[in-house]
Chains A and B, each alone.
Chain A
Amino acid sequence: MGAVTDDEVIRKRLLIDGDGAGDDRRINVLLKSFTKWCNSPGTPEEGFTQYQRMLGILAQCESSMGKTLMVYDMNLREMENYEKIYTNIEQNITSAHDKIAECKKEIQRAKRIRKNRQEYDALAKVIQQHPDRHETLKQLEALDKELMQLSHIKENVDAKLELRKKQFHVLLSTIQELQQTLENDEKSDNDDSQESPFLSVLFCKFSFGSTVFSKQHFKPSILHYVVL
């Protein structure tokens, strides 16, 4: 421990001595000249010049001391300045790190958004190939209307068909009844008297008409024929 401090002391002294451009030497010279001046038997002018010289050396020493003090102050202030800059830079670094992390997150988000957009576009392309929904709905409505109209017509025609069927059925049944009554009359007539040719022709015509009607011919010409 003692050796270390001795080394330190020696190092410091060497530094000071080597650095000061002979400040220590100047002090020693001053001391020596002061003792010589005190003990000198010379003339008062010599003593005075010696005295002035010594004052000059003293002033030099004081000025160099003042300089070193100022340099020391300056160093302290530089240190403070550097500390400030150092903390500033550290803060900047951390904020830059944060910004980088933020930006990375942004990039991920942007990539996801781009991916979604591309997916939408791809799907939109497929959808565009299919026809527009409104158009298709309109077409469907028109088709529905047509369908309804046609079904109306069909119903009407069906109703007419039914009516005609019923009418002809009525006609046929009345013809049959008339035929029957005529036959009966004929039979009763034949029992009494001879056959009338006119009645037999009428009878044939009726039977022919009824067979034609049983085959469901609806031509009005045949109707006229039968009536005849």
Chain B
Amino acid sequence: MTSQLTAVLCRSSFDHQMAPKYNIQNHLQLFLFYIELVCIVCVLQLLHMSVFSQSFSPCGRYLAAGNNYGEIALFSLSAALSPDATVQSQKPVLTFTAHEGPVFTLISSDCHLLSAGNGEISAWSWTELIKKVTVSLNTQQPGKQHDLIIPEINAMIINPRDNSLVVGGGDNNVHILDLEHGVFKSVLQGHSDYIHCVSVREREADILSGSEDGAVRIWDSRMDQSVHCIEVYKYESCARPQYGKWISCVTTDSDWMLCGGGPSLSLWHLRSLSPTSIFPLTGCQRQAAFHQDMILAVGDGPFVSHCLLGGEVKAQIPCTPQSLNTLQLNTNSTEHRVLTAGGSSDHIEVFTNLSYRAFSLSF
């Protein structure tokens, strides 16, 4: 690289006295050099890419994935899963830059894709995205009225009861945005450190939030108050002091809750607020989900762990990225029922049968 550059420069300086016929050659070489540099930068970018969030479209045929460069890529699942799929069909049909910072969380409502990064929430219409029109419909900034520092937004979830968006971010509070009117309804304060993840309990009108301060708080969404506060690291069976006390994943099944992060991934019974099973997984789990009678968890380590509710790890399916950040199940479509997992790589693993990795989509 540098030797080529010096050679070009020397020749250009030497050729000033020579005939002007060398100028075209120099220009061409400089141009080629520039192209090579751009290629190398692209490759390096791909090497350092991490996928932070994923969301399936309401029709179930498209997957949107957000990475740490602020880009959202749209993949067509019907093309990738069809019998005559090529390498090209595993590439995105559309890639666009949604935010300046990383896209930490993506969520789909009935017809919109909501993405959030460093302090702003943008809404995109799915129909427009499928038509490859990337104009953001609406951009909201939570807490803009009160705070000068706009925090990063780590997690969003839609509460279907009252059609509101629950947002948790760096300012230690949970904000609730009314999706009908686009106005922030309320703020839930109580955590003493930033919030990693939020979840809603469907049967009761409860919101759960897990934060860096090691507490999982259960909020009543009607009264906007904290109902319970579970400090997971204080329970000896779950705590892993070598990893810390932060909670990075919270997910609930109305009666049961899975939470993990610094402490081990554990299953809690919410009525009695007691831990029932601890999963012996090494590393910190970043996302977990209930699926039929199993629990799927991803985190440190290049695999997706399948666990039973009793606490034993049934299987660990290997994947390409070294650690996984996000796991999504496509429940919106019956013929494209896939599990996708993305992490610290530009590849998104797709599982058609949960027992093995089928193929990878790449940015």
A residues with a Cβ closer than 8 A to B are: 108, 111-112, 114-115, 118-119, 121-123, 125-126
Residue B17 is within 8 A (CB to CB) of chain A in the complex: no
* A123–B276 touching, CB < 8 Å: yes
Which single member of A108, A115, A122 contacts B276 (CB below 8 Å)?
A: A122
Give B119 Cβ to nearest chain A Cβ, in Å: 40
Task: Count how many chain B residues have C-beta atoms less than 8 Å from C-beta atoms of the other chain.
Answer: 15
* B274–A126 touching, CB < 8 Å: yes
Other than the known A111-B293, A118-B293, A125-B276, what 5 A-B pairs have Cβ atoms closer than 8 Å? A115-B309, A118-B310, A123-B272, A125-B277, A126-B275
Residue B256 is within 8 A (CB to CB) of chain A in the complex: yes
Q: How far is the CA of A10 from the CA of B176 in the complex (A)?
A: 86
Nearest neighbor of A129 in chain B, beta-carbon distance: B274
Give A201 Cβ to nearest chain B Cβ, in Å: 79
* B292–A111 touching, CB < 8 Å: yes
Known: A126-B274, A126-B276. A115 touches B293 (CB 8 A): yes
Residue B208 is within 8 A (CB to CB) of chain A in the complex: no
* A123–B308 touching, CB < 8 Å: no
Known: A111-B293, A123-B276, A126-B274. A118 touches B269 (CB 8 A): no
Interface of A is mostly: helix
* B269–A126 touching, CB < 8 Å: yes
* A122–B292 touching, CB < 8 Å: no
Residue B267 is within 8 A (CB to CB) of chain A in the complex: yes
Give A57 Cβ to nearest chain B Cβ, in Å: 63
* A123–B293 touching, CB < 8 Å: no
Which single member of B256, B272, B308, B310 contacts A126 (CB below 8 Å)?
A: B272
Mind listing 19 A-B residue pairs with CB under 8 Å?
A: A111-B292, A111-B293, A112-B293, A115-B292, A115-B293, A115-B309, A118-B309, A121-B309, A121-B310, A122-B267, A122-B276, A122-B277, A122-B309, A122-B310, A122-B311, A125-B277, A126-B269, A126-B275, A126-B276
Nearest neighbor of B292 in chain A, beta-carbon distance: A111
Give B288 Cβ to nearest chain A Cβ, in Å: 15
Nearest neighbor of B267 in chain A, beta-carbon distance: A122
Nearest neighbor of B269 in chain A, beta-carbon distance: A123
Q: How far is the CA of A111 from the CA of B291 in the complex (A)?
A: 10
Give A116 Cβ to nearest chain B Cβ, in Å: 9
Q: How far is the CA of A111 from the CA of B293 in the complex (A)?
A: 6
Nearest neighbor of A112 in chain B, beta-carbon distance: B293
Q: How far is the CA of A112 from the CA of B309 in the complex (A)?
A: 12
Q: How far is the CA of A87 from the CA of B275 in the complex (A)?
A: 59
Q: How far is the CA of A153 from the CA of B274 in the complex (A)?
A: 43
**Chain B residues whose C-beta falls within 8 Å of the C-beta of A119 in the assembled complex:** 255-256, 309
Q: How far is the CA of A125 from the CA of B256 in the complex (A)?
A: 15
Q: How far is the CA of A121 from the CA of B255 in the complex (A)?
A: 15
- What mask results when residues 327 to 340 of chain B are scored 1 for a CB within 8 Å of chain A, else 0? 00000000000000
Give A123 Cβ to nearest chain B Cβ, in Å: 6
**Chain B residues whose C-beta falls within 8 Å of the C-beta of A112 in the assembled complex:** 292-293
Q: How far is the CA of A115 from the CA of B255 in the complex (A)?
A: 13
Q: How far is the CA of A203 from the CA of B332 in the complex (A)?
A: 110
Nearest neighbor of A116 in chain B, beta-carbon distance: B293
**Chain B residues whose C-beta falls within 8 Å of the C-beta of A108 in the assembled complex:** 292
Q: How far is the CA of A113 from the CA of B255 in the complex (A)?
A: 16
Q: How far is the CA of A121 from the CA of B309 in the complex (A)?
A: 9
**Chain A residues whose C-beta falls within 8 Å of the C-beta of B292 in the assembled complex:** 108, 111-112, 115
Nearest neighbor of B311 in chain A, beta-carbon distance: A122
Q: How far is the CA of A173 from the CA of B267 in the complex (A)?
A: 77
Q: How far is the CA of A122 from the CA of B276 in the complex (A)?
A: 5
Q: How far is the CA of A115 from the CA of B291 in the complex (A)?
A: 10
Q: How far is the CA of A122 from the CA of B312 in the complex (A)?
A: 12
**Chain B residues whose C-beta falls within 8 Å of the C-beta of A115 in the assembled complex:** 292-293, 309
- What mask results when residues 306 to 334 of chain B are scored 1 for a CB within 8 Å of chain A, else 0? 00111100000000000000000000000
**Chain A residues whose C-beta falls within 8 Å of the C-beta of B277 in the assembled complex:** 122, 125
Give B306 Cβ to nearest chain A Cβ, in Å: 13
**Chain B residues whose C-beta falls within 8 Å of the C-beta of A123 in the assembled complex:** 269, 272, 276
Q: How far is the CA of A122 from the CA of B279 in the complex (A)?
A: 12
Contacting A at CB under 8 A, from B288-311, are: 292-293, 308-311
Give B252 Cβ to nearest chain A Cβ, in Å: 14
Q: How far is the CA of A121 from the CA of B267 in the complex (A)?
A: 12
**Chain B residues whose C-beta falls within 8 Å of the C-beta of A122 in the assembled complex:** 267, 269, 276-277, 309-311
Select the residue from A108, A112, A115, A125 with max chain B CB neighbours within 10 A.
Answer: A115
**Chain A residues whose C-beta falls within 8 Å of the C-beta of B256 in the assembled complex:** 119
- What mask results when residues 254 to 271 of chain B are scored 1 for a CB within 8 Å of chain A, else 0? 011000000000010100
Nearest neighbor of A125 in chain B, beta-carbon distance: B276
**Chain A residues whose C-beta falls within 8 Å of the C-beta of B308 in the assembled complex:** 118
**Chain A residues whose C-beta falls within 8 Å of the C-beta of B272 in the assembled complex:** 123, 126
Q: How far is the CA of A114 from the CA of B310 in the complex (A)?
A: 10
Q: How far is the CA of A82 from the CA of B153 in the complex (A)?
A: 68
**Chain B residues whose C-beta falls within 8 Å of the C-beta of A111 in the assembled complex:** 292-293
Contacting A at CB under 8 A, from B41-77, are: none
Q: How far is the CA of A14 from the CA of B274 in the complex (A)?
A: 91
